[in-house]
Structure 1
Amino acid sequence: MRSIISIFIVLLLFSCGTSKKIEEKKVARKAISTVEIVPIFNDSISIRAIAVTPTNDLVYGGNKTTIAQYNAKTKQHTNLLKGKVSDSLNISFRAVAHVNNTTFGISIVNPAMLFKISKDGKVKLVYKETHEKVFYDAIAFWNAKEGIAMGDPTDGCISIIITRDGGNTWQKVSCDNLPKAKEGEAAFAASNTNIAIVGDETWIATGGKASRILYSADKGQTWKVYETPIVQGIETTGMYSVDFYDSKNGFAIGGDYTKADVNEANKIRTSDGGKTWQVVAKNSNPGYRSCVQYVPNGNAKELVVVGFKGIDYSNDAGNTWKHLSDKSFYTIKFINDSTAYAAGQNRIAKLLFR
């Protein structure tokens, strides 16, 4: 019995040691040094919203009444609205989501229209809002049943609509239950990344003359607002994108797209769940970018940002950056820690990071 126990202990120690080495190898990732850009779509469509499906296909929204899906195996693109919504409407979509084999897209400008597209291809208009100021910027889901979309103020607060029944119905949150918007505070429909979700927690980035974080700990039931030090004060400034790696570590980027090389205070970071933020890489590139995403398995250290000025990467939580490419993109979503989809003006590409 003693010899059997000894063998078991040795095996256990060896097994634990092996696991630790694997874990250490995973943590000690090699820094990204290059990106290969593989085009998968070229057409006269501006694409600012993408979502990755569980099978690594891509859903994307653009102008010219486009909500489409790219099949990664067949390399085929299918406009899910074609023949089901009149082309004469000429709707532009800058916010899409995919959950539970269902695709959602909400249009910009008046009237706002939110479509639900089932796996079988059935298209249903599930929400419509008519207002001279209506403009929805982003959409995301907490789970298969509950989702949220946000947009510019129509009254005295940021517009927020929520579903609790899988997207069949949506209700607009009353301004009585939301922080009052500051003068000139709105948001940018630049990359469908104004909303970040971790578990039940939600962060919404606003921009313009005021640029703040709206925070909910309970899937949109209650809201708080936090100030940020990002550049703000005129209509084109503020946060354009926010992402959270976990419930504590988040990053936001933006600036002023009309002065895209200005980099004084366009990158901010939080380590306390968004309550406080600090400017990082002050007076250092990159300047204006429209989208930021944490690299999966990057331990809240690795970030990639994209914009019409190119692609940049950080492996120290945003303190320093490496410029990877001048290629213009508006938005990016990771498939895994070395592969992502990116989209922009007339293009979609697969990005291979090495």
Structure 2
Amino acid sequence: MRSISLIFILLIFFGCKDEYKRSFKITKVEIKDILTDSTFSIRALEFNNEYIFYGSIDHFGRKTLQSEFKIDLTEIVISDQKVHDRYRIKNDSVFLHFRAIEEVNGNLFALSIGNPAKLFKLYRKARKPRLVYEEVNEKVFYDALVFWNENEGIAIGDPTENCMSIIITRDSGESWSKISCSDLPVALDGEAAFAASDTNITTVGDHTWLATGGKSSRVLYSPDKGVTWQVFETPIIQGKSTTGMYSIDFYDQNNGFAIGGDYTKPNDVTANKIRTSDGGKTWQVVANGKGPGYRSCVQYVPNSNGKELVAIGFKGIDYSNDAGDSWTHLSDKGFYTVRFLNDSIAYAAGRGRISKLTFR
């Protein structure tokens, strides 16, 4: 009877844990560095329950997050097994630069910027990555990568012809094919994308939104995992090669948010934050003239009903609890990208470090 009661209590505990929703407004963030290196410049970050993965200026890497615990009746002996693997890959004599990565069931995909673009798959527990896609073109520059499910994924890059570069896999990343420009909206003059945080693609179910930037900054939308495409205009600041959306996120099929601005004028708060409630068809400027200036990454806080957002950039960390209408500046410490573990903990990365953020 005692064992049955214990099982019942554990079931209640873990069941309630899944439904937990934070009931307080975030007022501060605690930052703890977990990996530091002055050579890092990290703009892509992923993690699972074993590793944290990242893409940096001359390599991509993975570091184990867990330690091995050996327990006996008298004491706890902790053996730290935190392994850090770095993968430096050269093209001719130059190290490839990785700004787009994705973890799928323990397998890591890492996509390099510049010519040639090379996409590698690092299998779970493998020591050597395998090249699964390569593209040679003077204009090639890939910016972000995401998977809809364990089999299907997509990456976006700057135009090499008259449309955005989009590659898709349907076989778990073993092979990739580029969508023809005849099946995509025509890119406008000076329209491209920014490899600032690996977050100018976002998905909800089969729905996909891609954020472009530069002289024109629009949203490309697919309702069917990249088979068909539409394009929607946005009111975000644009017109220069350094302006537009740098990051986009959707909480559900209707509610989305994008942030950016002009990184050469990071304190400018004019028309750099936009929101949609109709799946991206129309967008409205919010917090115009206030709140954070240029930011490279925005993410919805999990379990927040689409109301809470965190924006990150080299000028610091900001938080909103009213869907972007108002903002609280939490820290001046700069990062490039962030990913949430739950509604109170996230990992962020930037120049020289990866850090754990605890929001309170």
TM-score above 0.5, yes or no = yes
1:173 CA drift (Å): 0.3
Residue 122 of structure 2: aligned partner: 117
User: Hey, what's the Cα distance between the residues in 2 that align with 1:85 and 1:208?
Assistant: 29
Residue 261 of structure 2: aligned partner: 255
Is the CA contact (8 Å cut-off) linking 1:308 and 1:327 kept in structure 2?
A: yes
Residue 62 of structure 1: aligned partner: 56
Q: Give CA deviations for 1:165-197 in whole Å, capped at 9, x if unaligned.
A: 000000000000000000000000000001001
Residue 207 of structure 1: aligned partner: 213
The 5-angstrom pairing of residues 339-354 of structure 1 reads 339-354=345-360
Seen in structure 2, the aligned counterparts of structure 1 residues 342 and 28 have a Cα distance that, compared at 3 Å, is closer
User: Hey, what's the Cα distance between the residues in 1 that align with 2:295 and 2:155?
Assistant: 22
Is the CA contact (8 Å cut-off) linking 2:309 and 2:321 kept in structure 1?
A: yes
Residue 281 of structure 1: aligned partner: 287
Q: Partner letter of residue 60 of structure 1?
A: Y
TM-score by length of 1: 0.90
SS state at 1:336 partner: coil
The answer as to 2:332 corresponding to 1:326 is yes
Seen in structure 2, the aligned counterparts of structure 1 residues 56 and 228 have a Cα distance that, compared at 3 Å, is farther
Q: Give CA deviations for 1:280-300 in whole Å, capped at 9, x if unaligned.
A: 000002000000000000110
The answer as to 2:99 corresponding to 1:94 is yes
User: Hey, what's the Cα distance between the residues in 2 that align with 1:26 and 1:120?
Assistant: 33
The 5-angstrom pairing of residues 238-317 of structure 1 reads 238-317=244-323
SS state at 2:182 partner: helix
1:29 CA drift (Å): 2.2
The 5-angstrom pairing of residues 13-32 of structure 1 reads 29-32=23-26
Is the CA contact (8 Å cut-off) linking 1:251 and 1:268 kept in structure 2?
A: yes
Seen in structure 2, the aligned counterparts of structure 1 residues 89 and 251 have a Cα distance that, compared at 3 Å, is same
SS state at 1:345 partner: strand
User: Hey, what's the Cα distance between the residues in 1 that align with 2:53 and 2:26?
Assistant: 26
Is the CA contact (8 Å cut-off) linking 2:246 and 2:261 kept in structure 1?
A: yes
User: Hey, what's the Cα distance between the residues in 2 that align with 1:124 and 1:30?
Assistant: 45
2:31 to 20, 26, 37: 37
User: Hey, what's the Cα distance between the residues in 2 that align with 1:28 and 1:304?
Assistant: 15
SS state at 2:264 partner: helix
TM-score by length of 2: 0.88
SS state at 1:346 partner: strand
1:77 CA drift (Å): 4.9
Is the CA contact (8 Å cut-off) linking 2:22 and 2:343 kept in structure 1?
A: no
1:101 CA drift (Å): 1.7
Residue 14 of structure 1: aligned partner: none
Seen in structure 2, the aligned counterparts of structure 1 residues 194 and 56 have a Cα distance that, compared at 3 Å, is farther
1:175 to 169, 174, 181: 181
1:264 CA drift (Å): 1.1
Point out the more displaced range, 309-318 or 28-37.
28-37
Q: What is the total number of aligned residue pairs between the two structures?
A: 330
2:113 to 108, 114, 119: 108
User: Hey, what's the Cα distance between the residues in 2 that align with 1:86 and 1:188?
Assistant: 22
Q: Partner letter of residue 102 of structure 1?
A: N
Residue 82 of structure 2: aligned partner: 76
Q: Give CA deviations for 1:238-281 in whole Å, capped at 9, x if unaligned.
A: 00000000111000000000001111100000001000000000
* Structure that is richer in helix per residue: 1
Is the CA contact (8 Å cut-off) linking 1:239 and 1:253 kept in structure 2?
A: yes
Is the CA contact (8 Å cut-off) linking 1:80 and 1:117 kept in structure 2?
A: no
1:85 CA drift (Å): 6.4
1:51 CA drift (Å): 1.0
User: Hey, what's the Cα distance between the residues in 2 that align with 1:163 and 1:213?
Assistant: 21
Structure 1 portions without partners, runs of 5+? 1-17
1:78 CA drift (Å): 2.3
Structure 2 portions without partners, runs of 5+? 1-11, 68-80
Q: Partner letter of residue 48 of structure 1?
A: R
User: Hey, what's the Cα distance between the residues in 1 that align with 2:28 and 2:52?
Assistant: 23
Q: Partner letter of residue 68 of structure 1?
A: G
Is the CA contact (8 Å cut-off) linking 1:56 and 1:335 kept in structure 2?
A: no
User: Hey, what's the Cα distance between the residues in 2 that align with 1:87 and 1:326?
Assistant: 39
Q: Give CA deviations for 1:118-148 in whole Å, capped at 9, x if unaligned.
A: 0131411000000000000000000000000
1:334 CA drift (Å): 0.3
